[in-house]
Amino acid sequence: MARISIFGIGYVGTVAAACLARDGHTVIAADVDQSKVDSINAGKTPIVENGLEELIETGVASGRLTATTDARKAVLETDASFVCVGTPSAPDGSVGLDYVLSVCTAIGSALSLKDTFHSVIVRSTIVPGSMEKSCIPALEASSGMTAGEEFGVGYFPEFLRESTAIEDYYDPGLIVFGALDQKTDDILTEINGQLNCEISSVNLRTAEMIKYTSNCWRAVKITFANEIGNIAKAVGLDGQEVMRVLCSDMKVNMSPYFMRPGFAFGGSCLPKDLRALRFLARSNNVPSPMLDVALSANEAQIRRAEHLVDNLVGRSIGMVGISFKAGTDDLRESPLAALADRLIKKGYDLKIYDPFVQEAYDEAMSGAGRGNDYVENLEQRLVSSIDALIEQSDILLVGNKYSEVVEPLSKAASTLPMVDLARLNNKVTSNGNYEGICW
């Protein structure tokens, strides 16, 4: 079992302290507020949260949970410190790090007095880069020690909901943390090991970003649900029933398939149905800002790909995929076709490899080229071999991913500039000649 000090007897800190003590760890809760410290030591909770009073009372009675205002004592008597103080917004909207940095400075000062390894783990919500740019420098400056070598560093975001925090702690949907060193990684793995949830150990910045992504995604979901509810009510329907049934679909609507960053959406359904629902909203005098921005954001993603190509040297483009998704010859509102049109109009010599569109033309199918409202002379631009496409190209533009193209395109990326909108290899990120649109 670990010995852990918790800095900040607020919502996150109090719940974490009580649950860690319940799990058998020795916990010292530290705060500058004497009243909060006194409350914990008396076996009482300083905040309202279902079931928390009982956990604190039991933890204090067992001797595993105590509280203090003495930061030095908290560090010297434990093996790891969790920073759980608030990060209120600054006047300009940026994250406020004053409390976090104050605690990091206090912990660092105490670290200089220790002759054993100690891990400092931030749980406060901080934007990506805060650990590296602010927290670690503060710890190193006040301790005179090197992070990751002489003391450990980690970032361990929490995903607790008020009123169900203890339930969320023991039945988490997500556990993620980052650590500079193996000892800190081991501590975080140990305290989470008994929970029935996959543990994701990532780098510090990724862990910071995941926390913000989670919170913003919740905000977006609430806003979307409210917007749908408003439109539903305007046409005499129950918005909650609509969303309840929608959320029962775990194959598509709740699937991670659509949560994979990449290129714009298109096809015969999504663009036209967004437009139709926006029109219905306007017809009933219901604002639909979320739906409105979805289309403009989709357009911005096409422009982003266009700019990536423009930044490369070359005039001959080999484009892989033109249909709106791999596995079909359907070009209706294909964002790849829209992108191709823009590049052609800029004077690029564009050739295309798309085995499904090619098949439709080769077999003289009546639907060949269906939905093509963008690309002139589409059939003449098609190249039947991926190797031939590569040979004719100064720049490679990957729009759809087909199994047969992965190996030759991966080899070509070492010599030709490439913009990848589909992600050929999940282990490769933007570098040198290679540009991934979101990675």
Longest dimension (CA), the chain: 83
Tell me the CB-side half-sphere exposure of residue 356, using CA atoms within 13 A.
Answer: 18
Q: Which residues pair with 82 in a beta bridge?
A: 6, 121
Please indicate if the annotation marks 418 as binding a ligand: no
Please indicate if the annotation marks 145 as binding a ligand: no
Q: Left if phi > 0, otherwise alpha if psi is -120 to 50, otherwise beta: which for 336? A: alpha
Please indicate if the annotation marks 87 as binding a ligand: yes
Please indicate if the annotation marks 259 as binding a ligand: yes
Cα 99 to Cα 2, 70, 79, 260, distances in angstroms: 25, 16, 22, 35
Q: What are phi and psi of 187, to 5 degrees?
A: -60, -45
Residue 134's identity, in one-letter code, is: S
| Dist. CA 21–CA 63, nearest whole Å | 9
Please indicate if the annotation marks 272 as binding a ligand: yes
Task: Give me Rg for the CA atoms of the chain.
Answer: 27
Please indicate if the annotation marks 260 as binding a ligand: yes
Please indicate if the annotation marks 131 as binding a ligand: no
Please indicate if the annotation marks 168 as binding a ligand: no
Catalytic positions are 269
Please indicate if the annotation marks 401 as binding a ligand: no
Please indicate if the annotation marks 64 as binding a ligand: no
The secondary structure of residue 403, as a DSSP letter, is G
Alpha-carbon dihedral sign for residues 279, 280, 286, 287: negative
DSSP, residue by residue, 322-347: -SSSTT----TT-HHHHHHHHHHHTT
Please indicate if the annotation marks 381 as binding a ligand: no
Please indicate if the annotation marks 346 as binding a ligand: no
Please indicate if the annotation marks 365 as binding a ligand: no
Q: Is the CB of residue 179 less than 8 Å from the CB of residue 188?
A: yes
Q: Is the CB of residue 153 less than 8 Å from the CB of residue 119?
A: yes
The secondary structure of residue 90, as a DSSP letter, is P
Q: What are phi and psi of 7, to 5 degrees?
A: -100, 115
Please indicate if the annotation marks 258 as binding a ligand: yes
Give residues with Cβ within 8 angstroms of 142, minimum separation 6.
104, 105, 106, 107, 108, 109, 111, 112
Strands 152-155 and 199-202: unpaired
| Dist. CA 368–CA 336, nearest whole Å | 17
Please indicate if the annotation marks 370 as binding a ligand: no
Structure tokens at 175: 């556990």
Please indicate if the annotation marks 146 as binding a ligand: no
Cite the annotated binding site for NAD(+) by residue number: 31, 36, 87, 125, 162, 272, 332
Cite the annotated binding site by residue number: 31, 36, 87, 125, 159-162, 211, 258-262, 266, 272, 325, 332
Cite the annotated binding site for substrate by residue number: 159-162, 211, 258-262, 266, 325
